Amino acid sequence: GAPNVSTATAVREQHGHDESMHPCAPPDVVVWPQAVGQVQELAALCHRCRVPMVPFGTGTGLEGGVNAVQGGVCFDLSRMDGITELSLEDFSVTVEPGVTRKALNKHLRGTGLWFPVGTVG
């Protein structure tokens, strides 16, 4: 519904570029799935209809990866921001794709662990 789907020009333009030098290429629609099942259903629908899918995190990339050069559906994953598991014993944490580094470090505060900038994996 409306709070989870937008075709507004401003929203589409916000999701059609990152911090790269590439010009804005907005998607046709932006959706905010909130569960894995919703992502699966949306992906299956896009695949069936041959509509491009563009994942969107925070829009801070430098590669132009969020530019929807062929239109399509932007999957904004920012509302999938749960931290689902933390194992202090093996220094691992399981997060949903919308978890930011700052949110993760806030969650880790007091454990002796932290997630530094530039960590891959």
pLDDT of residue 118: 64
Residues 7 and 56 in one domain: yes
> Measured between alpha carbons, how far is 7 from 68 in angstroms, rounded to an integer?
14
**Residue at 68 is within a domain:** yes
**Residue at 95 is within a domain:** yes
How many domains does the chain divide into? 2
pLDDT of residue 60: 83
Output the tens digit of pLDDT for each of the chain's 121 residues. Answer: 789 999 999 999 999 998 999 999 999 999 999 999 999 999 999 999 999 999 998 888 888 889 999 999 999 999 999 999 999 999 999 999 999 889 999 999 999 999 887 655 5
Residues 39 and 19 in one domain: yes
pLDDT of residue 120: 54
pLDDT of residue 77: 95
Residues 57 and 89 in one domain: no
Cross-strand pairs, 74: 30, 54
pLDDT of residue 1: 75
Report which DSSP code applies to 69: B
Residues 37 and 50 in one domain: yes
Residues 21 and 70 in one domain: yes
Tokens 């290429």, residue located = 25
Residues 59 and 105 in one domain: no
Q: Which residues constitute the domain of residue 89?
A: 81-112
**Residue at 108 is within a domain:** yes
- CATH number of the domain bearing residue 24: 3.30.43.10
Residues 9 and 54 in one domain: yes
pLDDT of residue 78: 93
Residues 44 and 6 in one domain: yes
Report which DSSP code applies to 2: G
Q: Which residues are CB-contacts of 51 (< 8 A; sequence separation ≥ 6)?
A: 28, 45, 71, 72, 73
